Structure 1
Amino acid sequence: MMSNVAVFGCNGYLGQHMVHTLLLQKELAVTGFDLQEAYAGTDYITYRKLDITDVAQVKTLGEDFDTIYYFTGLTGTDISFERYELFVNVNEMGLLHLLQHLRGFSKRPKIVFPSTRLVYKGVADKPLAEDDEKEFKTIYASSKYNGEQYLEMYRNLFGFDYTVFRVCVPYANIVAGALSYGTVGFFLGKAQQGEPISLFGDGELKRTFTHVMDICRQILLVSAMPESNGRVFNIDGETYSLKDVASLIAEKYGVPLQFVPWPPKALQLESGDTIFDGSRIRSLLPQTIKYSLQEWIHA
């Protein structure tokens, strides 16, 4: 039986990859929603332009979907202070508009929600489990955690199903555009131009890195399990220091590393080591990763 799913924020980096992953499942019909006039990806999907901050537009959604992958959201650290109204409107009010509308449905779709490593208080060399201490240094981080809390409130009072996946550092790009995104994309961009890769401080901060297709696979498979309802999962991956990853890329392209002092604002916003404990997600999906960061860099 064909299942209807929606990807909100389908024109973003994770959104396009989630669409691609879903389309590999032959029994799924995928509809994308975003602000732009057309779908930005290379796959063919049904697409609707929709502004999640406009209540009237949200109310046009019908009871068509079994699952909503809610990838709508603004990302950024210090920029979230300069554009605080927009971050709150999109990341929080937009989600609340959707949840309020879905309350009236006789059959509510499950909500799948990606969150961020930036909700955690980083601890040196310690893998962080989902219930470990939180710390919010940016409006972006608090807006994502608030989204998690709204989902739990609506589950508690109205019986919504949801699953949250916290993402640390994604890498790779198989749908279009640049070779990668974010941290790894920055390193690659510098190296491909023959420029030194710059690192703040000694570069020893640690992160958990996950290939974007492993992220989407974990989200797809685990969110479909009844045991995932009402739960939060760290996306599993491989842990490296930023210096380790930069060194692998620098070696491949023959460029040096450059260590620079921390800018004061960046240092104030830095969370420290963010290493994910992936044991919760592995308890449901033993084989969480198929891609190796080192192999991907050297390919």
Structure 2
Amino acid sequence: MKSDRHSGAPAILDRRPVLVTGGAGFIGSNLADRFANEGHDVLVFDRLARPGVERNLDWLRKRHPDRVSAIIGDVRDEEAVTKAASEAKAVFHMAAQVAVTTSLVDPREDFEVNIRGTLNLLDALRRRSEPVPLIFASTNKVYGDLADIALDKRDDAYVPHDPAIRRTGIGERRPLHFHTPYGCSKGAADQYVLDYARSFGIPTCVFRMSCIYGQRQMGTEDQGWVAHFLIRALNGQPISIYGDGCQVRDVLDISDAVDAYARAWKNIAAVQGRAFNLGGGPDNAISLRQLLAHIQDIIGRPVEASYSDWRAGDQRYYVSDTHLAAQDLGLKPPTPWRKGVAALAQWLQEEPHPAASASQGTQRRRAEAVS
């Protein structure tokens, strides 16, 4: 474990840091930037395993040299996690194994990172003498493949036959139904986080996220499909789609996701022990084919795509019912997806990054297009 946290800083009231595990990643780096901008010290805990994320950490250090520090460590290392959490005033747990495909290749590592790593962090907070909030990044995969929802195909997209689901999306009352090792590990971690609020009084909150996109996303075939599609298209590279491309997700701009996490911390006394679905909602629900068509409009040229078999655990339709999060956290309406995707395309053109490599994802395994 390496630490670059400076020890000579002047004694200032409440310099306890906000701890962001996975803080060099896409959502984590945006969270760290938000909190540093608000005047908080931020401690990033990340093992820098994902290609390109060290650029996010460098970006954070340059923007906030006196606010952001880092520990290069692994959430499976209980001693390192305990040390990182020892002075934190709030914890945002983003560190995870994030791909269904990886979990099928190595389910034991998936278990160790997502379950044991989360338990290490929860237990470090349980041993603290004060209640420290923890807000956890869960996933829509906890609801399984949703195969019981009857679907129709309209305009290159699956839509629920039930008009109530079309109107509102999938709510938090949907029964949990874990599929694939990834679904099991994230689902188990989700439940541990909620139970530590019940059993030990730790103020925790869970976000079951749909697809988040935006600046600083190193999109690959494994994870981050909106950015991945844009990166490939902007570089004139073909896109691999698994399934027929009519599968639908609700997409949410990173600025809106960060705001939800910040508001959960601000309102933790009212929402502790609760799970919220977080996504763009029905107004921001799009299929892979619809995104491809929009990207072609943005870049002004066709995008080559190939189609392969469906992947294990893939949902043909998932759209978040976000009314509880909007109501209880006071969230503003999300960024319209066309505006957000166009902004991401502009950022990618201005700041190309290594995720554009054609072989980066496929060297390890062929991966599903939607995480």
TM-score, normalised on structure 1? 0.88
The letter of the residue matching 1:42 is W
Structure 2 partner of 1:128:
170
Q: Does 1:228 align with 2:240?
A: no
User: Aligned match of 1:10 in 23, 29, 37?
Assistant: 23
What's 2:10 paired with?
A: none
Q: Is 2:287 the partner of 1:241?
A: yes
Q: In structure 2, the residue corresponding to 1:7 is in which secondary structure?
A: strand
Aligned residue in 2 for 1:255 = 302
**Residue 35 of structure 2 aligns with which residue?**
22
Q: Is the 8 A contact 1:250 1:257 kept in 2?
A: no
- Structure 2 residue corresponding to 1:49, chosen from 72, 77, 95: 72
- State how far apart, in whole Å, the 1-side matches of 2:141 and 2:244 are: 21
Q: 2:103 aligns with which of 63, 73, 80?
A: 80
**Secondary structure, counterpart of 1:194 in structure 2:** coil
Q: Name the aligned partner's letter for residue 42 of structure 2.
A: V
Shift of 1:16: 0.9
- Counterpart residue number, 1:102: 125
CA distance in 1, matches of 2:38, 2:132: 18
Alpha-carbon contact 2:31-2:258 (below 8 Å) kept = yes
CA contact (8 A) 1:195 1:255 kept: no
The answer to whether the 8 A contact 1:16-1:41 is kept is no
Aligned AA for 2:195?
A: M
TM norm structure 2: 0.72
The amino acid of 2:23's aligned partner reads C
> How far off its partner does 1:196 sit?
5.0
How many residues are aligned here?
294
| 2:197 aligned counterpart, secondary structure | helix
Tell me which moved more, 5-14 or 282-291: 282-291
Alignment partners' CA distance in 2, 1:197 and 1:36: 26
SS in 1 for 2:100: coil
Equivalent position of 1:276 in the other structure = 320
Corresponding residue number in structure 2 for 1:194:
236
1:35 pairs with 2:81: no
The worse-fitting range, judged by mean Cα deviation, of 87-96 and 218-227 is: 218-227
SS in 2 for 1:42: helix
- CA distance in 1 between partners of 2:279 and 2:47 (Å): 30
Q: Shift in Å at residue 220 of structure 1? A: 0.7
CA apart distance, 1:106:
0.9
Q: 1:170-212 deviations in whole A, cap 9, x for unaligned?
A: 1111x48679x71112221232133454544442221110011
Give 1:138 deviation, angstroms: 1.6
Aligned to 1:65: 88
CA distance in 1, matches of 2:305, 2:60: 39
Unaligned runs of 5+ in 2: 1-12, 62-67, 152-159, 344-371
User: RMSD in angstroms over aligned alpha carbons?
Assistant: 2.6
Query: Contact 1:163/1:228 (CA < 8 Å) preserved in 2?
Result: yes
Question: Which letter does structure 2 place at the counterpart of 1:89?
Answer: E
Change in CA separation of 1:217 and 1:199 when aligned onto 2, cut-off 3 Å: same
What is the alpha-carbon distance in structure 2 between the residues aligned to residue 89 and residue 58 of structure 1? 14
1:233-285 deviation digits (Å, cap 9, x = unpaired):
1113121222211110022221146462x425x1x432220010001011124
- CA drift at 1:87: 1.0
How many Å apart are 1:62 and its aligned residue?
5.8
Q: What SS is found at the alignment partner of 2:236?
A: coil
**Which is worse superposed, 272-281 or 217-226?**
217-226
Match of 1:214 among 241, 248, 256: 256
For residues 170 and 259 of structure 1, do their structure 2 counterparts lie closer, same or farther at Cα, with a shift above 3 Å needed? same
Deviations 1:127-174, CA, capped at 9 Å, x for gaps: 10012033322211111111111122222221111010111111111x
Q: Give the partner amino acid of 1:30.
A: V
Matched, 1:140 2:182: yes
Tell me if structure 1 keeps the 8 A contact 2:140–2:209: yes
Whole-angstrom CA distance in 1 between matches of 2:106 and 2:245 = 29
SS state at 2:317 partner: coil
Give the Å deviation of 1:49: 2.5
- 8 Å contact from structure 1 (residues 42, 176) kept in 2: no
> Which whole-Å deviations, capped at 9, do the CAs of 1:36-59 have from their partners, x for residues lacking one?
497724123121223221223234
Partners of 1:53 and 1:94 within 8 A in 2: yes
In structure 2, the CA distance between the partners of 1:135 and 1:287, relative to structure 1 (3 Å rule), is: same
Q: Secondary structure at the match of 1:60?
A: helix
Residue identity over aligned pairs, in percent, reads 23
* Closer/same/farther in 2, CA of residues 252 and 101 from structure 1, 3 Å limit: closer
